[in-house]
């Protein structure tokens, strides 16, 4: 995109103390200075390298499709209903998802929903840099890591006695707002919400206009919407879409790997 040659996931053995390839880490977060801080952390951490950044759902999906990072560090505020976690996990089962939990999402229900959606690591957003790097490595080697500060929230509560036939006690908590859309339909819906017409959406997603029309028809049917505007309204009200500042992703290229002010 725009003349950028994306960095693909390298092949070979996983990173380890003795050497081997490093893990490409990308971040999805709405705060630029926080993204820069994570970039600095990755650059100075052994076994990790910077793969890029995004500040919106659409940009995150583009980044993962084109750059193929090994790890995505995701801010829980950008994924309050765990839809993005689910889509990223479904799009690339090998991708390691690390969710940074804000205080507002520090609940047993949210953590259970994030893990069910495919998050491999759950850590507080206030975690220090050394512990975050260690959490990424642990999650990579074990495919699951829960920070000790959040462990109590992931413990299963004692099962309450329930009448026969009542399966509610065994049902995991579900995030607010169903997610009936496919990965591509979700991208199309986000771009529709930004006011783009089918032709512009087709160019951005490298699809034909007819394919975009097909996706839009499917979105209207699945959301029981009268038209595009109604579909966007339903998506925001149900939590499928969230209002966030628009931003693109910044992939790593040969001349953009350095952090500003560092050589």
Q: What is the pLDDT of residue 239?
A: 77
**Residues 183-238, CATH architecture:** Orthogonal Bundle (1.10)
Distances (CA, A) of 256 to 3, 39, 262: 13, 12, 11
Q: What is the pLDDT of residue 205?
A: 86
Domain with CATH 1.10.10.10 in the chain: 183-238
Q: What is the pLDDT of residue 137?
A: 92
**Grouped pLDDT means (10 residues each) for the chain, 263 residues:** 39 46 92 93 93 90 92 93 90 93 93 93 92 92 90 64 40 48 86 88 90 92 89 83 57 42 40
23-154: what CATH class?
alpha beta
Domain with CATH 3.40.50.2300 in the chain: 23-154
Q: What is the pLDDT of residue 20?
A: 61
Q: What is the pLDDT of residue 19?
A: 53
Q: What is the pLDDT of residue 244?
A: 58
**Side-chain-side CA neighbours of residue 202 (13 Å):** 12
């Amino acid at each position: 995109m725009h003349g950028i040659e994306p960095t693909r996931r390298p092949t070979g053995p996983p990173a380890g103390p003795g050497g081997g390839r490093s893990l490409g880490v990308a971040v999805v977060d709405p705060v630029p200075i926080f993204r820069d801080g994570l970039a600095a952390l990755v650059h100075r951490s052994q076994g990790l390298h910077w793969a890029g950044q995004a500040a919106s759902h659409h940009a995150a999906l583009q980044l993962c499709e084109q750059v193929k990072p090994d790890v995505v560090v995701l801010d829980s505020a950008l994924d309050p209903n765990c839809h993005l976690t689910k889509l990223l996990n479904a799009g690339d089962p090998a991708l390691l998802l690390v969710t940074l939990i804000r205080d507002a999402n520090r609940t047993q229900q949210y953590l259970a929903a994030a893990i069910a959606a495919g998050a491999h690591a759950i850590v507080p957003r206030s975690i220090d840099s050394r512990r975050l790097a260690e959490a990424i490595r642990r999650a990579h080697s074990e495919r699951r890591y829960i920070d000790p500060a959040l462990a109590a929230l992931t413990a299963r509560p004692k099962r309450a006695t329930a009448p026969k036939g009542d399966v509610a006690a065994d049902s995991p908590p579900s995030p607010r707002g169903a997610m009936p859309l496919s990965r591509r339909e979700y991208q199309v819906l986000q771009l529709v919400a930004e006011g783009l017409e089918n032709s512009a959406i087709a160019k951005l997603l490298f699809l034909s206009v007819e394919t975009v029309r097909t996706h839009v028809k499917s979105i209207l049917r699945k959301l029981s919407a009268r038209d595009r505007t109604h579909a966007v309204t339903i998506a925001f009200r149900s939590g499928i879409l969230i209002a966030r500042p628009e931003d693109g992703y910044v992939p790593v290229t040969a001349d953009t790997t350095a952090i500003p002010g560092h050589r």
